Amino acid sequence: MSQLEQRDRAQISRWAVFNFARKLRLSSLVLILAVVITLWLVLVPMLVLVLNSIRTGPPSSFAGPWTLRNYYVLFSNPFFYTALSNTVIISVISTVGGLVVAVLFAWLIERTDMPFRTLAWIAVLLPLAIPGVLFALSWMLLLAPRMGLINIALRELLSLFGFSLDEGPLNIQSLGGIIFLSWMRGVSTIFLMIVGAFRLMDPALEEAARLSGAAPKGVLRRITLPLLMPALAAASIYSFVSHLESFEAPLTVGLAAGIFVLSTLIYFTARYHVPVDYGLSAAYAVFFMTIMTVFSYFYVRMIRKGERFAVIRGRGFHPIRYRLGRWRYPALALFAGYFFFTLLCPLLVLVWASIVPYYVVPSMEAIKMISFDHYINVATTPRFFHDTINTVVVAIGAGVVTMVIALLISWLVVRLKHRAGLMLDSVAFISYAVPGVVIALAMIFVYLQPALRPLGIYGSIWIIVLGLATQYLAFATRTTNAGLLQIHQELEEAGSVSGAGRLRIIWKITVPLLMPSLVAGWVWVVAHSLRTFSVPLVLASENNEVLSVWIWIYWQAGRIPEAAAIGVMLILLTALVGFAAKKLVGESLSGMR
C-alpha cells in the first residue's frame, strides 16, 4: 500500500471518528436535555405532591413528620364521598349524552344526504371558541332561578296557562345544571374523535346486510356501530376522563349551590380551607391522579387494539349516503339548535350584559341605556394592560416551551430510537392523566420549597407557563412524533453527505420540513392557553393574573357587566389568534411546496 493511500485512509478514519464523536456529543446533549426537562416538568412535581401527601407541614418549610393522617382524614370524610359520587355522576351522564348526540351528528353529516353538511360541521365545532368559564357564566345569566332570561320567558309563558312562579322553573345552580353544561361542551370533542371513523368505514358490509333484507335500523345497530366500537370506546373513555377533571362548570355553577366535585374540592382545600391543610389537599390530588391514570391506561389499550377492527383495505370505496327524505331539514334543524344553544345564546347574553350599566332583562327601556362605557373603563385601567400582556406572554410562552420539549423527546424516539426516549415519551403521556388543578397544586409544592424560592418562579407568570407546558405536553409529543415519522431520514443523510453538521441539518432540513406539525401544535397550545382557567386560577397571585382569572374575580364581586366586557374581549382575542394561526399554518404549508 502506497504512502498516499495510507494517508488517505488515516484521514478518512479521523473524519469518521470525528463525525461519530460529534454525533455522540449531540445525541448525548439532546438526551440529557430531554431527560432533565421532562423529569423536572412531569415526574418531580408529581413526586413532591405524593411526598407532601404523607407528611405534615406546609410545602414552604422543610419536610415534617411522615404520616398517613391525610389519607385517613380523606377516606373518613363523608364530604369526600359526596364529591366523588358527584364527579362520577356528572362524568357518566355527560359522556353518555355527549356520545349519543355526537354519533347522531357524525352519522347525519357523513352518511346521509342532509343539506348544508359543511355548515353543520362548522356549527358543531364553533362552540369550542368560547372559554369554558365564559360558557358557564353566560348560562348562569340565562338560567339563573330568578333573573335568568330563559326562566323569565318560561314564567311568562306558563302564566298564560294559569301557573304563577316566583323563580325557575329551571335552575342551572344544581347537579343537573352542571351535567347540562358538561354535556353540551363535550359533544364537539367526541364528534371530532369519531367523525373520521364514519367517513372512512367501508360500506360493503352494510350493503351486504341490506341485500340480505335487514332494515336500516338493524344495519346501524348490528353492523355500523359494532364496526365503530374502537373509536366509540376510545372517545367515551377520553370524554369520561375529561369530565372527571372538569373545573369551570362545577366551580361557577356548583359554588352557589354548595355542590362539590373532586377538582373543586382540591381547589378549596388548598386555597380556602381553614386552617390551610396542604397535606390533605395533596392527598386529594394524589387520589384524583390515580383515578385518572387508571382510565388513561384503558384509553391507551383501547387505541392499541383498534387495528383488529380495521375494514378498509387497499381497494377503493365510496360510502353510500342514506336518503332522509322529508327528514332532511328537520335533521339540519338539530344542528341549528345546537349552534343556537352552545354559541349564539351564550355570546349574545355576554354582549348584552357588557353594554348595559347593570345587568337587567332586555326590554325597550333597557335598550335606551346601551353604552360601551364598560369596555372603555376596563380597557383604560392599568390592570387590563397588565393582565392582557400576561395572557399573551403565558400563551406564547407555553406554546414555545411545550413544542421545544416535544421536539427533543420526539427526536430521541423517532430519529435516535433511544430506549430513554421511549421512556420519556411514556412519561410525557402521564401529563394527560393529571388534571390541571392537580398540576397547579404540584407546582405550588415544588416552587415553594426553600431551595427553589430564591428563583422567584412562584407567583410569577413563568410558573403558569410551566404548568401549562406540563398539561399540554402529551398532545404536543403526539403531534411531533407523527410529523417526524413522515420525514424520511434519507433527506438528513443527504445533508450529511454534503458535509453539513448535525445541528445545521436539523436547523436547515428537519425543522423546516417539520414546521407544519410544529406550528399546528403551537397553535393548539396557544389557543388552549388563552382560554384555560384552572391552572391560572390555582396559581394566581397579584403579579401573574390573566384575563380569565380577572373575569372570575369581577364576577365574584358582583361586577357582571365588567366581567362580561372582559369576556367578550377575550373571545375576540382568541378569534384574532385563530385567524393569525390559520395564516401562519397556511404559510408553513406553502413554504414546503
What is the residue-wise DSSP string for 426-475?
HHHHHGGGS-HHHHHHHHHHHHTSTTTGGG--TTSHHHHHHHHHHHHHHH
Full-model pTM: 0.80
Which of 394, 347, 430, 403 is closest to 524 using CA atoms? 403
- Work out the pLDDT band at 314, boundaries 50, 70, 90: very low
The DSSP secondary structure of 59-102, one letter per residue, reads TTSS---B-SHHHHHHHT-HHHHHHHHHHHHHHHHHHHHHHHHH
DSSP character for 55? B
Residue 396 has pLDDT above 80, yes or no: yes
The pLDDT of residue 316: 47
403 and 293 in one domain?
Answer: no
Amino acid at 116: F
Q: Does residue 2 form part of some domain?
A: no
Of the pLDDT bands very low, low, confident and very high (cuts 50, 70, 90), residue 9 is: low
* Model pLDDT, residue 465: 94
The pLDDT, as a whole number, for residue 582 is 62
What whole-number distance in Å separates Cα of residue 548 and Cα of residue 537? 8
Q: Is residue 13 in some structural domain?
A: no
Structural domain of 77: 64-360
58 vs 172, higher pLDDT: 172
Domain boundary (360, 394, 428) is at: 360
Indicate if the pLDDT at residue 1 is higher than 70: no
pLDDT tens string 99-127:
999 988 988 888 788 888 888 888 888 88
The answer to whether residue 333 is domain-embedded is yes
Mean of pLDDT values over 447-473? 88
* C-alpha to C-alpha distance for 43 and 35, rounded to whole angstroms: 11
Residues 6+ apart with CB under 8 A from 217: none
Q: What is the pLDDT of residue 311?
A: 47
Question: Are 217 and 282 within one domain?
Answer: yes
Residue 310: is its pLDDT beyond 60? no
For residue 230, tell me if it sits in a domain. yes
Query: Tell me, what's the pLDDT at 300?
Result: 64
Q: Are 305 and 404 in the same domain?
A: no
Q: Give the tens place of pLDDT for each residue, 192-225.
A: 778 777 766 656 666 666 666 666 666 666 666 6
Residues 6+ apart with CB under 8 A from 234: 193, 299, 302, 303, 306
Angstrom distance (rounded) from CA 152 to CA 274: 39
Query: Which of 158-167, 269-278, 378-387 is the most confident on average?
Result: 378-387
What is the pLDDT, as a whole number, of residue 17?
42
Last residue of a domain, one of 345, 360, 375: 360
208 with 101, same domain? yes
The answer on 455 and 308 residing in a single domain is no
- The verdict on residue 375 lying in a domain is no
CB 53 within 8 A of CB 282: yes
The torsion angles phi and psi of 63, rounded to 5 degrees, stand at: -55, 135
Pick from 323, 344, 360: which residue ends a domain?
A: 360
Q: Is 146 exposed, middle or buried (0-12, 13-18, 19+ CB in 10 A)?
A: exposed
CA distance 83 to 251: 12
Nearest one of 34, 97, 82 to 250, comparing CA atoms: 82
| Bridge partner residues of 322 (DSSP) | 112
Three-state secondary structure of 106-154 = HHHHHHECCCCHHHHHHHHHHHHHCCHHHHHHHHHHHHCCCCCHHHHHH
pLDDT of 81 strictly over 90 = yes
Q: How far apart are CA 191 and CA 314, in angstroms?
A: 26
> Do 332 and 399 fall into the same domain?
no
Res. 494 pLDDT band, cuts 50 70 90 = low
C-alpha cell, 559: 361586577
The beta-strand segments (E) located in 297-383 are none
Task: Give the mean model confidence (pLDDT) for residues 529-543.
Answer: 86
Q: Are residues 48 and 144 in the same domain?
A: no
Number of structural domains (the chain) is: 2
* Same-domain pairing of 181 and 283: yes
For residue 340, is it within any domain?
yes
* Predicted confidence band of residue 3 (pLDDT cuts 50, 70, 90): low
Residues 318 and 392 in one domain: no
Residues 403, 272: one domain? no
Whichever domain contains 240, its CATH number is 1.10.3720.10
- Rounded CA-CA distance 175/258 in Å is 10
Name 484's Cβ contacts closer than 8 Å, sequence gap at least 6. 410, 411, 414, 415, 510, 514, 517
| Domain shared by 207 and 309, yes or no | yes
Residue 257 is assigned to a structural domain of this protein: yes
Are residue 43 and residue 107 in the same domain, yes or no?
no
Domain membership of residue 91 (yes or no) is: yes
Q: Nearest-CA neighbor of 127 among 197, 183, 199?
A: 183
Who has greater pLDDT, 332 or 311? 332
